[in-house]
């Protein structure tokens, strides 16, 4: 009998599988398809201080082995998330949920985190300093160590829950950014967010996305994710949530060997809404195949 449980910053998960923010809504939509309580947890849609309509369309483009998205953090704002979205989730999900926080200023990150920190249903705050699809915020905070440190420190001063900083791969050294977050007090880091990409419409001879660029995700980015998780695991002493192109139980094992304590599944949910369910169901078989009794034993096993 294999043991799929892991402990993420003091909270035990039945398994390490976490649907990634932006690919699972606020959870209750997927609860119509299967019992989402089988998940380790999930990271809900990126939440900002005020409501956002997102970017102009078109904002999705298909690519070989993946997709580009420039949705632009469409969400109803933190107050409505607390008053409308989380009560709906509470009816179908009885575990702690991960709150994904985005912002356009230091003050906005602090405001949103302070509000969400007070909600009992929330177990972790995943602070996104890596969104490539918005202007004047998001990734701009995650591309240099000083800004990453500043956001982390400011958020930690107003919160009591574990803070996980979500990192971008669109930097020279993701390990340096992770170290700055650790120095700022981060309890963990999650990585990678999407790679910056672009497509051009051959007939119109114009960028395919209205935003010009977007975030590239899907199977093709998985080797980049493995490399980044491995490098960060060697650089910091805080837990890592790995993600990027994960679509199978084998991928989960590989990212955990690279150093991840838990693993998020993103674009795969948009292709197959049962992706996380199928990965969780297949995990025991893959563990037995590779003679793994306890998942916790393999975290960082390749380091």
- Concerning whether 131 is annotated as a catalytic residue, the answer is yes
Distance CA 211, CA 230 (A): 32
CA atoms within 13 A on the CB side of 296: 8
Of residues 113, 131, 181, 276, which has the active-site annotation?
Answer: 131
According to the model, what pLDDT value does residue 131 have? 58
Domain positions in the chain are: 6-54+73-196+216-298
The tens place of each residue's pLDDT in the chain, 303 residues long, gives 899 999 999 999 999 999 999 999 999 999 999 999 999 999 999 999 999 988 899 999 989 889 999 988 899 999 999 999 999 999 999 999 999 999 988 999 999 999 999 999 999 999 999 754 444 455 567 888 999 999 999 999 999 999 999 999 999 999 999 999 999 999 999 999 999 999 999 999 999 999 999 999 999 999 999 999 999 999 999 999 999 999 999 999 999 999 999 999 999 999 999 999 999 999 999 999 999 999 999 999 999
pTM above 0.75, yes or no: yes
According to the model, what pLDDT value does residue 104 have? 87
Question: What dotted CATH number matches 6-54+73-196+216-298?
Answer: 3.20.20.70
């Amino acid at each position: 009998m294999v043991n799929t449980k892991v402990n993420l910053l003091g909270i035990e998960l039945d398994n390490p599988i976490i649907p990634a923010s932006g690919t699972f809504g606020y959870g209750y939509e997927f609860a119509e398809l299967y019992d989402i309580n089988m998940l380790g947890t999930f990271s809900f849609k990126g939440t900002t201080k005020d409501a956002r309509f997102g970017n102009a369309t078109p904002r999705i483009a298909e690519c070989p082995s993946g997709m580009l998205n420039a949705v632009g953090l469409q969400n109803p704002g933190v107050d409505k998330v607390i008053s409308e979205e989380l009560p709906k989730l509470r009816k179908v999900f009885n575990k702690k949920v991960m709150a994904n926080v985005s912002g356009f200023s230091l003050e906005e990150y602090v405001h949103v985190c302070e509000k969400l920190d007070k909600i009992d249903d929330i177990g972790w705050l995943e602070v996104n300093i890596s969104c490539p699809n918005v202007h004047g915020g998001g990734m701009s905070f995650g591309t240099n160590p000083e800004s990453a440190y500043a956001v982390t420190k400011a958020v930690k001063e107003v919160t009591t829950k574990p803070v996980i900083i979500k990192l971008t791969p669109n930097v020279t050294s993701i390990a340096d950014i992770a170290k700055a977050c650790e120095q700022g007090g981060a309890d963990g880091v999650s990585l990678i967010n999407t790679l910056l990409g672009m497509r051009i419409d051959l007939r119109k001879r114009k960028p395919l996305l209205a935003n010009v660029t977007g975030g590239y995700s899907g199977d093709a980015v998985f080797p980049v994710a493995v490399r980044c998780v491995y490098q960060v695991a060697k650089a910091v002493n805080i837990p890592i949530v790995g993600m990027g192109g994960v679509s199978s139980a084998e991928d989960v094992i590989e990212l955990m060997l690279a150093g991840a304590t838990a693993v998020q599944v993103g674009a795969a949910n948009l292709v197959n809404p049962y992706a996380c369910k199928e990965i969780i169901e297949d995990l025991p078989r893959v563990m037995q195949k590779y003679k793994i009794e306890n998942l916790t034993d393999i975290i960082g096993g390749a380091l």
